[in-house]
Amino acid sequence: MKPALPLTGQERFFDADQVIVSKTNPAGTITYANRAFLEVSEFTEAEVIGKPHNIIRHPDMPRCLFRKLWRRIKAGKEMFAYVVNRTHHGNHYWVLAHVTPSFDAEQRIIGFHSNRRVPERAPLERVIIPLYRALREREQAEGDPEAAVAAGEAHLRAHLEQLGVGYDRFIFSL
């Protein structure tokens, strides 16, 4: 994998009727990416199939949310999350992601499926971007990665407690 290009600060957009879809194996390696995924992420199919899904991870995305996501989907549960992704050319794009585990006939997790849609701008700008900035600040204040994630988790937990809601209700209220 080539090193990521510097961030451009340029946001990419996609149509509200488009759905970005990808599938991974249990380790998070991409096994399928639809045309919308490829167009928005500025990658070719050959560049993503067989690569870790974090190939599109943007450094502004709080680590604690990825920890929460992996815990939930590995436990067989779905998760909705606002996510900022990095493109192949250093641009970025926002999505509202719905990630679910895929099961075999014996109910064993055999991979993960993610559908991403255009998020509404008002809650994104008013709530999510400031919250993610605060989470990243907490994470960056820590010296080691584990402490960083724990600090982000603690801040998110305190934020949700202050609002008197759980994570899912918070996301669905936006």
Nearest-angstrom CA–CA distance, 145 and 150: 9
Confidence band of 1 (pLDDT split at 50, 70, 90): very low
For residue 74, the number of C-alpha atoms closer than 13 Å in the C-beta half-sphere is: 9
- Run of H or E residues at 31: strand 30-33
Q: Are 94 and 120 in contact (CB under 8 A)?
A: no
What pLDDT does residue 158 have? 98
| Percent of the chain's residues with pLDDT above 70 | 97
Model confidence pLDDT, tens digit, residues 105-163: 999 999 999 999 999 999 999 999 999 999 999 999 998 999 999 999 999 999 999 99
What pLDDT does residue 140 have? 96
Nearest-angstrom CA–CA distance, 15 and 121: 13
Confidence band of 101 (pLDDT split at 50, 70, 90): very high
Find where tokens 């998760």 sit: 79
Question: Is it the case that residue 3 has pLDDT exceeding 80?
Answer: no
Model confidence pLDDT, tens digit, residues 12-67: 999 999 999 999 999 999 999 999 999 999 999 999 999 999 999 999 999 999 99
CB atoms within 10 A of CB 67: 15
Model confidence pLDDT, tens digit, residues 66-76: 999 999 999 99
pTM: 0.94
CB atoms within 10 A of CB 173: 10
- Run of H or E residues at 85: strand 79-86
In the chain the domains, ranked by start, together with CATH numbers, are 20-164 (3.30.450.20)
How is 99-166 classified by DSSP, letter by letter? EEEEE-TTS-EEEEEEEEEPPPHHHIIIIIHHHHHHHHHHHHTSSSHHHHHHHHHHHHHHHHHHHT--
Q: Is 90 exposed, middle or buried (0-12, 13-18, 19+ CB in 10 A)?
A: middle
What pLDDT does residue 159 have? 98
Q: Which two tokens stand for residue 22?
A: 């990808």
Coil/strand/helix, residue 40: helix
What pLDDT does residue 143 have? 84
Confidence band of 4 (pLDDT split at 50, 70, 90): low
